Amino acid sequence: MTDRADKPTLVFSWEMFGPYHMDRLEAVGRRLGDRFDVVGLEIGSKSHTYAWDSTGEGQNFRKITLFPGRSKDAVAWPKITAALLRECLRLRPCAVFLCNYEDPDIFAAAVTLRASGRRLIAMQASKFDDKPRFLSRELGKSLFYAPYQAGLAGSHRTRDYLRLLGIPEERIFLGYDTLSLERVRRLAGVPPAPDGMPWAERHFTIIARFVAKKNLFRAVEAYDRYRTLAGAEARPLHLCGSGPLEAELRADVARRGLEDKVIFRGFLQEKGIAETLGTTLALLLPSTEEQFGLVVNEALAMGLPVVLSDVCGARDLLVRQGVNGHVVEPDNPEGLARAMLELSRDEAEWRRMSEASRLFQPIADADYFAEAVEKALGSLNALPQPTPAPPAALAAAPESKG
């Protein structure tokens, strides 16, 4: 094994390392660790968005936390830029992978790193259709991408958006939004569907923050319609998450008389999510805005059909209508209700979709991210070249005696 000091360094930076980020870096370390020193730079060990537990150390990569015990929003952006550049000066990476291009700390670091000759790769899940866009603003935004030479995209729509913003199409690679399917299965402690818990005992599941874009009130409306259609055979709905809309959501459930059918599970860490998916009939993701939806990857790890809205980036890669799930419009509660009805009434159809989910697992797994990293490095001529073997005639020549 080559000593770490003799390898070129790859740096990956995110705001905080949740389970997904650790999965990706472990995969990169397994695939490229013999050629690169893989380093993950975590800005803080807390997140202002997600209540993740702080993660441990990596096995196949080195993890460095710039501001332990703090979240990114608790640190002034010039300090973050200075800390990122200080570590990169020490590590001297040949390539740096950055997320959150629009943040001033990341942009300032990107400009400086690019000027110093580092190769920069943007990591992104955002799509053009996430929100209303204005051409003048998008043209201005392209300046923020000027330091980047390549990109890792979450979906086809993300790839198109990166191309619009100036990254060459031949240097944009799918595979950003992935996680370890093996980790999810291990934590679930039960076999993936259609094995494991019997079909008749499974429930529907939503795993989401309780915020407006997750469209949970429309989901409850759809579930109410489903309950009317299914009658006494209606499956429960488990709502897993927390957020500012929880009180209003509970009130809506009570107003509809669904307290015995809609179960609030609270925010779940990675093990709780995996265990819940191990008893789930289908995952529901009816968002009005969703850059990707990594919970879809977790559902596929457990062999589940998925019913999601057409705005979700995961729909581009991981779900096909009528194959391993259903795609509905976010303002279509009737469509969502009837998709639920089909899966809860027809075991053969559910099993067919469950088995079809295996077709999509390879591109949902973190190994796909590592493959995309390797392709991006290759497109920038950043892969170490093997030492050429001596010509056969020279290798076979007798050693000189004097």
* Cα 319 to Cα 78: distance, rounded to the nearest angstrom: 41
pLDDT for res 295: 98
Location of structure tokens 């790839």:
159
CB 66 within 8 A of CB 80: yes
pLDDT for res 5: 66
Is the model's pTM score more than 0.85?
yes
pLDDT for res 302: 98
CB 282 within 8 A of CB 204: yes
Location of structure tokens 């499974």:
202
Contacts of 220 (CB under 8 A, 6+ apart): 249, 252, 253, 256, 258, 262
* Cα 223 to Cα 235: distance, rounded to the nearest angstrom: 10
Instruction: Quote the distance between the C-alpha of residue 85 and its chain's center.
Output: 26
pLDDT for res 135: 84
Return the amino acid letter for 373.
V
pLDDT for res 398: 40
Q: Left (φ > 0), alpha (ψ -120 to 50) or beta: where does 92 sit?
A: left
Return the structure tokens found at 199: 């079909």
pLDDT for res 48: 63
Residue 334's CB is within 10 A of a number of other CB atoms, namely: 13
Alpha-helical runs (H) found in 69-155: 77-91, 104-115, 135-141
pLDDT along the chain (402 residues), means of 10: 74 95 97 97 80 77 95 93 95 96 94 96 96 87 94 97 95 98 97 97 98 98 98 97 97 97 96 98 98 98 98 97 97 97 98 97 98 97 65 42 36
pLDDT for res 56: 79
Interhelix angle 347-356/333-345, rounded to 10 degrees, is 100
Radius of gyration of the chain (CA): 23
Location of structure tokens 């050629």:
35
Domains of the chain, each with CATH number or no CATH: 7-180+365-379 (3.40.50.2000), 181-361 (3.40.50.2000)
* Cα 6 to Cα 19: distance, rounded to the nearest angstrom: 29
User: Backbone phi, then psi, for 394, in 5-degree steps?
Assistant: -70, -40
Longest dimension (CA), the chain: 97
